[in-house]
Structure 1
Amino acid sequence: MSQQPLAFRMRPSNINEIIGQTHLVGEGKTIHRMVKANRLASMILFGPPGTGKTSMATALAKSLHLPFKTLNAVTDKKKDMEIAVEEAKMHGQLVLILDEVHRLDKAKQDFLLPHLESNRLTLIGCTTSNPYHSINPAIRSRCHLFELYRLTSEDIKEAIGRAIRNKEDGLGDLTIEMTEDALDHFAHSANGDLRAALNGVELAAFSTPTKDGTISINLETAEECMQKKSFSHDKDGDAHYDVLSAFQKSIRGSDVDASLHYLARLIEAGDLDSIGRRLVVIAYEDIGLANPQAGPRAIAAVEAAERIGFPEARIPLSVAVTELALSPKSNSAYKALDAALGDIRSGNSGDVPAHLKDSHYKGAADLGRGLDYKYPHNYENAWVNQQYLPDKIKKRTYYEPKSTGKFEQALNQVLQKIKKQKTT
């Protein structure tokens, strides 16, 4: 049996053996059509770890019987790419499978670009990063972008079954009996990472004593071999920002259960800083005037969490998230400011009215500064009708109150009363 890891040995040799990703390789889908038409274009395959990016790349080259070379953008040097180009000249065409393509430096990129243009090299880049964030536009514009999805538990069970039965590349030469709950644990705790699941199965197969020629893998063995693979979260990866985005959108959407779920993910990742920043933003951006006390209370909860640290930090955080999710929502205040900023940045502002200009200096009156200004506190209810906006935009309205909270409803009553007095 080969000394190479099981996950490597079980890589598909054609697209029909690919696990999952039917949105790309299923009948009639884009990559399936490429293979059927015998026309392979340069592409970037991106998605979470263990979803089969490099496996798909090699399967594509093998399906079309094209020579290919696998390099790593970090560890392999420009010289290795020069060798790949020489091989492409010899074969007429070469598929260059480039792992960690988002780490491609400028020198290597500049070297590759003309060969991609001439189609001498067909690039299949593989990355866990979002190509719109991490890959240079010069490379990205020359490639199709295909996202690979995290594998389902059923996908992983299918792959494990294949590996156990396969005598040539898998574990088929061994007699393995695996309990259903052990299989479930491998499939679920891998969290969509097929490589992790197969590594765990291989470890279980070779670390479990044989009894009467049979290797029996039970739940306890599966748990030991997978260790803690039920959760995967990279604080610097794209998935982290996806979770933060889902966290805020769940609170904004008043789904308290989803909000707590994504909070749990962030807590499990140990990212107290991001949780704290996001909660304060949410309190003012999404709750705002509908519940003005949400902001100070969110800040207090974050400060308490930072002071006590994990694991107890989860307690004030849970209180804050529950309140924010179930609070009435209003974005009226910051939307009003954004509208005002939009006017200023587009040049739609005008001069400050003369009666509002600074008059605390000698000669101000001679310039007409501050004349006819009415001091509101000298009038009933501390209000008097006078113009505050510049003439150019004197009828402009920015603030549009919402009726989702009692506080803002009260503000709206004041606003409507003022508007009515202005017109009388």
Structure 2
Amino acid sequence: MQNEPLAYRMRPRTIDEVVGQQDVIGPQTALYKMIKNGHIPSMLLYGEPGIGKTSIAHAIAGTSKLPFIALNATTSGKKDVEDVVTESRMTGKVLLFLDEIHRFNKLQQDALLPHVESGSIILIGATTENPFHDVNPAIRSRCGEIKQLKRLTQEDVAQLLKSALEDPKRGLGSQEISIAPEQIERIASGSNGDARKALTMLESIVMASDEEDGKTIVDNSIIEQMMKRIGVFGDKKGSHYFNLLSALQKSVRGSDINAAMYYLAHLLENGDLTAVTRRLLVMAYEDIGLANPAVGGHVLAACQAADRLGLPEARIPLAQAVAEMCLSEKSNSAYKAIDAATSAIHKGQTGDIPMHLRDAHYAGSSDLGHVGYRYPHDTPIGSFGGWVDQDYLPAEIKSAEYYKPVIAGEEKKFAGIYEKLKTFRKKKR
């Protein structure tokens, strides 16, 4: 067993040994009580790597004492599923743990689903992707529980590390290791809530440390070297990656520059400049908008500079763009206006284009009634420019208003003009 990785050896053997995820499988939860009472529902476990999906499945198996089979949907074929079905017929009930369940294909489903429905196979599916996006409805409908797991806290990870250092059979307790509490905390903080990474790093640190008189002495320099080797979590195009993009935009919208920089740093560590710059450009027009129209040009320039520079230098113009957006006045009025107009069209709130607005650049257009348009530039109004009172919307919806100004930044001026023009129209009609 000592040849197996430490993270594998330290998996919980029962649900009472599970560290973290207390709101999912803690003693006060319905799931814990069901399992303790002998009822194991089929379920989906959703969350980032290293936060306990596989461990919870093994812990449930250890508690229930049911025959346990583990498969990975990326490598298992129809024959593997048929073997599970055969096992369930022989034993009466089987607990199947299926990792990467979002990659389940139709043949595997067809062979397995009736047995999950009948209860002869209890399915525990694990996925890093959002099950409501990436897991087939047929699977979801047969799982009574869909649990989203959270990243482990630093305290949870530190507890796991201490257990590994103390356990003489499964962990490193048979070795004499000199490691300070603050060093354990440093490893825990650097694991980013990933128990597997933390235990793997601890094992590597111990193996890389020097021995003195039979005692392994852990040095801070070894810890820091190993910490640099741990990547930031966030697979490109995975659910967590899109969660990072969402968190970045919501932090900018909420004017929290520190949170925005944190999420930007995460995204850039994953190296996908295209997705980041695309999202920043959308944010400039969606969330800053007319309150500070210059931001759109500034962000575009920053994104173009980032594309030309590449990483790591690209972080500099992008950080400036994010900082400016965080601290800028904000308005979503323009995009809300186009969404309102689009919604109205989909609801059938349309009409004919007024005759005087139709194309008149050809012979015979006047015969069709395309006449009466007045050129606004010929009628100056104050310092605004040209304006005339004429209808532009179809007669059927001429009173429609999609734009609702936000009184912020530059849009204060635009809002004043908008309201003034409305009063002009009311006076002349």
Shorter chain as denominator, the TM-score bin is: over 0.9
Partner of 2:402: 398
Partner of 2:219: 218
Q: Distance in 2 between matches of 1:208 and 1:262?
A: 34
Alignment of 1:119-130 (within 5 A): 119-130=119-130
- The residue type paired with residue 28 of structure 1 is Q
Q: CA deviation at 1:268?
A: 2.1
Q: CA deviation at 1:225?
A: 4.2
Alignment of 1:4-403 (within 5 A): 4-143=4-143, 144-229=145-230, 231-370=232-371, 372-381=372-381, 382-403=386-407
Q: Distance in 1 between matches of 2:7 and 2:97?
A: 18
Q: Distance in 1 between matches of 2:178 and 2:81?
A: 45
Higher mean alpha-carbon deviation, 394-403 vs 173-182, is at 173-182
Contact 2:302/2:318 (8 A) holds in 1 = yes
Deviations 1:289-343 (A, max 9, x none): 1111111111111111211222222222222111111111111112111111112
Contact 1:73/1:101 (8 A) holds in 2 = yes
- The residue type paired with residue 21 of structure 1 is Q
Contact 1:191/1:230 (8 A) holds in 2 = no
Q: CA deviation at 1:168?
A: 2.2
Higher mean alpha-carbon deviation, 3-12 vs 291-300, is at 3-12
TM-score by length of 2: 0.93
Q: Distance in 1 between matches of 2:324 and 2:210?
A: 53
Partner of 2:425: 422
1:185–1:91 CA distance, 2 compared to 1 (3 A)? same
> Out of 402, 408, 421, which is 2:411 matched to?
408
Higher mean alpha-carbon deviation, 72-81 vs 393-402, is at 72-81
3-state SS of paired residue (2:212): coil
Q: CA deviation at 1:287?
A: 0.9
Q: Distance in 1 between matches of 2:356 and 2:99?
A: 67
Contact 1:189/1:228 (8 A) holds in 2 = no
After the TM superposition, which segments of 4 or more aligned residues of structure 1 sit over 6 Å from their partners?
A: none
- The residue type paired with residue 165 of structure 2 is I
Contact 1:176/1:214 (8 A) holds in 2 = yes
Contact 1:189/1:231 (8 A) holds in 2 = no
Q: Distance in 1 between matches of 2:140 and 2:179?
A: 44
1:311–1:202 CA distance, 2 compared to 1 (3 A)? closer
- The residue type paired with residue 389 of structure 2 is N
Contact 2:208/2:222 (8 A) holds in 1 = no
Contact 1:336/1:400 (8 A) holds in 2 = yes
Tell me the matched-pair count.
422
Instruction: Identify unmatched segments of 5+ residues in structure 2.
Output: none
Q: CA deviation at 1:355?
A: 2.6
Q: Distance in 2 between matches of 1:192 and 1:46?
A: 15
Q: Distance in 2 between matches of 1:226 and 1:377?
A: 66
Q: CA deviation at 1:209?
A: 4.2
Contact 1:73/1:98 (8 A) holds in 2 = yes
Deviations 1:52-96 (A, max 9, x none): 111111111221221111111112222122111111111110000
- The residue type paired with residue 393 of structure 1 is I
Contact 1:337/1:398 (8 A) holds in 2 = yes
Q: Distance in 2 between matches of 1:299 and 1:226?
A: 35
Q: CA deviation at 1:43?
A: 0.6
Q: CA deviation at 1:277?
A: 0.8
Contact 1:288/1:330 (8 A) holds in 2 = yes
1:260–1:208 CA distance, 2 compared to 1 (3 A)? closer
3-state SS of paired residue (1:96): strand
Higher mean alpha-carbon deviation, 408-417 vs 229-238, is at 229-238
Q: Distance in 2 between matches of 1:76 and 1:367?
A: 69
- Overall identity of the aligned pairs, in %: 46
Q: CA deviation at 1:207?
A: 4.1
1:297–1:203 CA distance, 2 compared to 1 (3 A)? closer
3-state SS of paired residue (1:122): strand
3-state SS of paired residue (1:111): helix
Higher mean alpha-carbon deviation, 354-363 vs 330-339, is at 354-363
Deviations 1:194-226 (A, max 9, x none): 112212222333443443332222322333444
1:423–1:32 CA distance, 2 compared to 1 (3 A)? same
1:380–1:191 CA distance, 2 compared to 1 (3 A)? closer
Higher mean alpha-carbon deviation, 87-96 vs 356-365, is at 356-365
TM-score by length of 1: 0.95
